[in-house]
C-alpha cells in the first residue's frame, strides 16, 4: 500500500476506491469567506433570519422537543461533543454528528454523500424516524397555525409555510456559517508568525511524509471522496446509497476546518481526541477486512510516534472564529 494513501485521510476519511480515485489537486488554499447560492434559492437577510428561527425551533421535531440546534450547538462548533447523539426517543444514532460550520462548501452531504444540495440535506434529519421524526405534511400544518411564520413565508416565498420553503430557509442560514480566517489561512497569506514551530513541522509532515494532503486538500481540506478506513465494519456506509459491494464501509472525507473543536471523531465517534485519530493512522488501521474488503489505507508504521504531536498542532491551527450568533426569538 503506497504511503500517501495511508494518512492521506488523516482524519475519519472517505470516497472512491484507490483505483477509481481521481487525481487530487493536492493544494492547500484559504477558505473563501462566502458560499455561493443556487439560482433557485438566492441568499437574502430575511431568508437567513427565517432559517435561523427554524434551526432553533423544536417544533420541527415530532415531539416538539428537538431542534436542529439540539445536535448542532453554536457553542460546540455546531456539533454536540458526543460520540453519538441521542435521536428520537433518546436512542443513540449510529453516526457521529458533523459540524455545520463551512458546510455550504461541500458538494455532497452526510457521511455517505446521499444528497447533493443543502436544501435536500435540511429536510433529511427532520423527517428521519430515528432523528427528529417529523412528518413534513404535519409540519406544514403546524407552522401554518403560527401567525409569525405565516407572515414570514408569505413575505419571502409568497406562499404559506411549506416544506420547500423550510428547506430553502434552513439552507440559506447554513450557508452563512462560514468561519473567519484561521492561523493557517493567515500563514498562507504570508504571515510567517501565524503558526508555531511545531505547527510548521506538522504542516511539513502533512504535505510530505505523512501524505495527508492527498485526501485533505482544497479550501475545506477534504477531497470529498469516500474511503474504507477499517475504523469499523458494522456500518456499510456509502454502499447503502450506491448498492455496490466495493463501497461497503466507505465514508466521505470530512473537512479539517475547526477540527480541534469538533471531536469525538470518525463516522462512529470512536476516536475521542486528535491524538487518538493520528495514532490510529500511525498504528491502528487493520490489515484486513470482511469479504476481502480491506481498508483503503495502511498504517504508517514507519513514521515515528514523535511526529504525532506536531501534526496535532498543525490541525489545531485550522480553527477560525465562528460567526457570532444570538439565538432568535421564536414566533
User: Catalytic amino acids?
Assistant: 131
* Cα three-residue angle 242-248-250, rounded to 5 degrees: 90
The closest alpha carbon to 11, from 239, 297, 322, belongs to 297
Give strand pairing partners of 237.
250
**DSSP H helix total and E strand total for the chain:** 12, 2
Q: Packing angle between helix 147-157 and helix 136-144, nearest 10 degrees?
A: 100
Q: What is the largest CA-CA distance in the chain?
A: 64
Q: What is the DSSP letter of 115?
A: B
What Å distances lie between residue 81 and 183, 271, 288, 301, CA to CA? 23, 12, 31, 30
Q: Which residues contact 285 (CB under 8 A, 6 or more apart)?
A: 6, 229, 230, 295, 297, 298, 299
39 alpha-carbon distance from chain centroid: 24
The Cα 97–Cα 95 span in angstroms is 6
Q: How many CB atoms lie within 10 A of CB 245?
A: 11
The closest alpha carbon to 225, from 240, 237, 243, belongs to 237
Amino acid at each position: 500500500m503506497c504511503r500517501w494513501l495511508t494518512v492521506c485521510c488523516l482524519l475519519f476519511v472517505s470516497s472512491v476506491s484507490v483505483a477509481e480515485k481521481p487525481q487530487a489537486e493536492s493544494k492547500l488554499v484559504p477558505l473563501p469567506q462566502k458560499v455561493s447560492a443556487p439560482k433557485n434559492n438566492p441568499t437574502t437577510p430575511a431568508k437567513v433570519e427565517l432559517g435561523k428561527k427554524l434551526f432553533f425551533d423544536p417544533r420541527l421535531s415530532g415531539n416538539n422537543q428537538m431542534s436542529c440546534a439540539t445536535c448542532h450547538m453554536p457553542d460546540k462548533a455546531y456539533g454536540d461533543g458526543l460520540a453519538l447523539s441521542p435521536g428520537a426517543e433518546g436512542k443513540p444514532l449510529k453516526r457521529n454528528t458533523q459540524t455545520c460550520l463551512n458546510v455550504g462548501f461541500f458538494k455532497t452531504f452526510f457521511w455517505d454523500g446521499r444528497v447533493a444540495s443543502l436544501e435536500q440535506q435540511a429536510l433529511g434529519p427532520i423527517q428521519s424516524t430515528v432523528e427528529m421524526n417529523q412528518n413534513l405534511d404535519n409540519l406544514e400544518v403546524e407552522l401554518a397555525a403560527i401567525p409569525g411564520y405565516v407572515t414570514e413565508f408569505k413575505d419571502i416565498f409568497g406562499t404559506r409555510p411549506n416544506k420547500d420553503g423550510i428547506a430553502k430557509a434552513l439552507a440559506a442560514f447554513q450557508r452563512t456559517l462560514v468561519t473567519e480566517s484561521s492561523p493557517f489561512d493567515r500563514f498562507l497569506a504570508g504571515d510567517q508568525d501565524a503558526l508555531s514551530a511545531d505547527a510548521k513541522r506538522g504542516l511539513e509532515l502533512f504535505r510530505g511524509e505523512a501524505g495527508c494532503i492527498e485526501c485533505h486538500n482544497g479550501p475545506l481540506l477534504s477531497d470529498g471522496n469516500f474511503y474504507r478506513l477499517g475504523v469499523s465494519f458494522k456500518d456499510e456506509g456509502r454502499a447503502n446509497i450506491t448498492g455496490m459491494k466495493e463501497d461497503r464501509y466507505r465514508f466521505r472525507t470530512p473537512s479539517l476546518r475547526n477540527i480541534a473543536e469538533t471531536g469525538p471523531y470518525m463516522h462512529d465517534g470512536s476516536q475521542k481526541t486528535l491524538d487518538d485519530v493520528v495514532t490510529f493512522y500511525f498504528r491502528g488501521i487493520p490489515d484486513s477486512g470482511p469479504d476481502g474488503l480491506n481498508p483503503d489505507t495502511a498504517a504508517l508504521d514507519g513514521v515515528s510516534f514523535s511526529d504525532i504531536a506536531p501534526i496535532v498542532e498543525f490541525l489545531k491551527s485550522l480553527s477560525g472564529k465562528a460567526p457570532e450568533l444570538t439565538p432568535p426569538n421564536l414566533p
